Amino acid sequence: MKFADYVYKTLKGKVPRGKVATYSTLAKAIGKPNAARAVGNALNRNPHAPIVPCHRVVKSSGEIGGFASGIGKKVTLLRKEGVEVIANKVPKRFILTRL
């Protein structure tokens, strides 16, 4: 299985609607704790969206981060799922710290 496939499988199975994970947390969950940037790159090329919900991954600070379809679209999708976004940042109560 390719690195990106591990990222997609873990994200799809472990991050439910109404919650988000960080790139770093997702990297740790797939056994690659130093690969947060690679996780972001894999998600940017996600061919399975929206089945694999790459919009549910944010920076460690809670900031939205990048999104292939634009940050505005990412914010819209998160809010539609019940995630609060204030000034392009997700409050800590929505961020999963372990997967």
Domain boundaries of the chain, sorted by first residue: 3-94
Q: What is the DSSP letter of 11?
A: H
Tell me whether residue 54 is one of the annotated catalytic residues: yes
pLDDT level of residue 63 (50, 70, 90 thresholds): very high
Spatial separation of the C-alpha atoms in residues 43 and 48, rounded to whole Å: 10
Predicted confidence (pLDDT) per residue in 8-51, tens digit: 999 999 999 999 999 999 999 999 999 999 999 999 999 998 89
pLDDT level of residue 69 (50, 70, 90 thresholds): confident
Question: Which of 1.10.530.10, 2.40.40.20, 1.10.3720.10, 1.10.10.10 is the CATH number of 3-94?
Answer: 1.10.10.10
pTM above 0.85, yes or no: yes
- Give yes or no for a contact between 52 and 46, defined as CB atoms under 8 angstroms apart: yes
Q: Which tokens sit at 52?
A: 């694999």
Report H helices in the chain: 3-14, 23-29, 36-44, 71-80
- Give yes or no for a contact between 57 and 43, defined as CB atoms under 8 angstroms apart: yes
Catalytically annotated residue among 42, 43, 54, 77: 54
CA 57 to chain centre: 1
Spatial separation of the C-alpha atoms in residues 90 and 95, rounded to whole Å: 8
